[in-house]
Amino acid sequence: MSSKEKPTLGGTRIKTRKRNIAAPLDPAAFADAVVQIYLDNAGDLELIARSLESSDLNFSRYGDTFFEVVFTGGRTQPGTTKSDEGERHPYSVIDCEPKRELILPSVIYIQKILRRRPFLIKNLENVTRRFLQSLELFEENERKKLAIFTALAFSQKLSGLPPETVFQPLLKDNLVGKGLVLSFITDFFKEYLIDNSLDDLIAILKRGKMEDNLLEFFPSAKRSPEAFSEHFTKAGIAPLVEYNEKKIFEVKLKEMKSALTTQIAEEADISEVIESVKQHVKDAKLPDIEVVRILWDVMMDAVQWSGKNQQQNANLALRQVKTWAELLNTFCTSGKLELELLYKVQVQCYEDTKLMKIFPEIVRSLYDLDVLAEDTILHWFRKGTNPKGRQSFVKAMEPFAKWLEEAEEEE
């Protein structure tokens, strides 16, 4: 062979590429190329993922377009969910049946894509946000598929879908007003709770800053605790109803405690304080036992204790009891409630060393002020069940209990 001749390869080409897709230079051409990969592989997501991996497609430039094709089967017109010109494929999330076993493969497929190309996470957020803000443009069946997809995405911990990306875009007034958001979120909750606990759901809601704002998913005319309970009970999500009722209860309890703290600190007229507590109890339907506990806690928390001066602390505690005895007496209306108050005093005196030695004095003061009846005190002395400091307190109470027993015998 002459030194000027170029070497050549011999042999026969056995395999040729099935299709040679040139790197597209615009969104429409990119969408067509991705659609063609779907069609060439007959919707097999594993094969599609491999083809995408080996392609020359510019995902960094057309990431949003890629997820439009994944979700809807093709490129969508700007600002809408309507299909743009160009070929479409029938293997999208929107085109399948609204069943978790059919939608889950798409979630896993997207997760694989994101692991290989993590820069696409932002594009997934963009497209998801846009679709959720345009729920009214989807058919009811399509909205259900999006809800199932979103729930499965959270279950699978799909990258690129932080809770705020899902929940915040839904809070558009027109979407909420039409009931579309409530329908979507109900399908989402039901689907998510199939594989996850209520605590998991609450964690997501917290991250999405919606834990305390669940009523915002409801149209304004139905935005009430009663409507919430009725809707989600009917939807079969009773644990969420129980959680919300507990949350409301805790908020109202906190509100009453805050108002009472302010009134006691400002030494408001006791009749005004009593009426205020009664109103809170009525509005929040607070249990009597919980009210008694709060009254004692707030009363004692308001005392400005005097360091290690035992006698001065005793005087402060007894003065507080005397000042607000009428308040306690108003709500300790049965032996059961009186016993609950006595247990509350016992626990505080056990846990707070500066009060431990004055337990008998506090009990005696509550007796003298007609807050605690002798039957209640003797029942506690003979059969009390709270073990905290009981042994030492019973011993300290022996003289007073003996005096009550003698008075009882004389009567």
% helix, strand, coil for the chain, step of 5: 70, 0, 30
Give the C-alpha separation, 369 to 218, whole Å. 50
Q: Which residues of 21-40 are buried (b: 16+ CB within 10 A; e: fewer)?
A: beebeebbbbbbbbbebbee
- List, for residues 336-359, the tens digit of each pLDDT value: 999 999 999 999 999 988 888 899
Mean pLDDT value of segment 93-107: 94
**pTM score of the predicted model:** 0.73
Mean pLDDT value of segment 111-118: 93
Looking at residue 355, what is its pLDDT?
Answer: 87
Of residues 310, 312, 408, 315, the one with CA closest to residue 357: 310
Residue pair 87/74 in contact by the 8 Å Cβ criterion: yes
Looking at residue 172, what is its pLDDT?
Answer: 92
Looking at residue 23, what is its pLDDT?
Answer: 57
Dihedral angle over CA of 187, 190, 191, 195, nearest 10 = 170
Given a cut of 90, is residue 159 above it in pLDDT? no
Dihedral angle over CA of 242, 245, 247, 249, nearest 10 = -140
Looking at residue 22, what is its pLDDT?
Answer: 53
94: phi then psi, degrees, rounded to nearest 5: -70, -30
Give the C-alpha separation, 210 to 176, whole Å. 15
CA 208 to chain centre: 9
Residue pair 91/38 in contact by the 8 Å Cβ criterion: yes
Percent of all residues in the chain with a pLDDT value above 70, rounded to a whole number: 90
Residue 44: strand, helix, or coil:
coil
Looking at residue 81, what is its pLDDT?
Answer: 60
182: alpha, beta or left? (left if phi > 0; alpha if psi -120 to 50): alpha
Looking at residue 1, what is its pLDDT?
Answer: 46
- List, for residues 124-133, the tens digit of each pLDDT value: 999 999 999 9
Residue 70: strand, helix, or coil:
helix
**Out of 35-49, 235-249, 308-322, 337-351, which region has the weakest mean confidence (pLDDT)?**
308-322
Residue 190: strand, helix, or coil:
helix
Given a cut of 70, is residue 13 above it in pLDDT? no
Give the C-alpha separation, 332 to 367, whole Å. 12
Tokens of 210: 């919606």
Mean pLDDT value of segment 260-286: 91
Range list for CATH 1.25.40.180 in the chain: 246-410
Residue pair 392/352 in contact by the 8 Å Cβ criterion: no
Looking at residue 162, what is its pLDDT?
Answer: 86
Residue pair 66/34 in contact by the 8 Å Cβ criterion: yes
Given a cut of 70, is residue 411 above it in pLDDT? no
Tokens of 310: 């035992």
Looking at residue 32, what is its pLDDT?
Answer: 92
**Out of 32-41, 87-96, 253-262, 399-408, which region has the weakest mean confidence (pLDDT)?**
399-408
Looking at residue 30, what is its pLDDT?
Answer: 92
Q: Quick one: pLDDT band at residue 190, thresholds 50, 70, 90?
A: very high
Q: Quick one: pLDDT band at residue 16, thresholds 50, 70, 90?
A: very low
Residue pair 281/319 in contact by the 8 Å Cβ criterion: no
CA separation (Å) from 393 to 328, 339, 378? 22, 15, 13
Mean pLDDT value of segment 214-226: 93
Q: Quick one: pLDDT band at residue 243, thresholds 50, 70, 90?
A: very high
- Helix axes 238-265 and 198-207, enclosed angle (nearest 10): 60
Looking at residue 218, what is its pLDDT?
Answer: 96
Given a cut of 60, is residue 6 above it in pLDDT? no
Looking at residue 82, what is its pLDDT?
Answer: 62
Given a cut of 90, is residue 217 above it in pLDDT? yes
Looking at residue 17, what is its pLDDT?
Answer: 45
**Out of 18-27, 231-240, 306-315, which region has the weakest mean confidence (pLDDT)?**
18-27
Dihedral angle over CA of 344, 350, 354, 355, nearest 10 = 40
Can you tell me which residue has the tokens 């939608």?
103
Q: Judge: domain 246-410, CATH 1.25.40.180.
A: yes
Q: Which residues of 287-300 are buried (b: 16+ CB within 10 A; e: fewer)?
A: eeeebbbbbbebbb
Helical ranges in 60-139 per DSSP H: 63-72, 100-116, 121-132
Looking at residue 181, what is its pLDDT?
Answer: 96
Residue pair 380/400 in contact by the 8 Å Cβ criterion: no
DSSP H or E run through 279: helix 270-284
Looking at residue 86, what is its pLDDT?
Answer: 74
> Which residues, 6 or more positions from 77, have their beta carbon under 8 angstroms from its beta carbon?
83, 84
- List, for residues 35-52, the tens digit of each pLDDT value: 999 999 999 999 999 999
**Out of 9-23, 30-44, 310-324, which region has the weakest mean confidence (pLDDT)?**
9-23
**How many residues make up the chain in this entry?**
411
Q: Determine the topology of domain 27-238 in CATH.
A: 1.25.40
Residue pair 347/388 in contact by the 8 Å Cβ criterion: yes
Give the C-alpha separation, 358 to 363, whole Å. 9
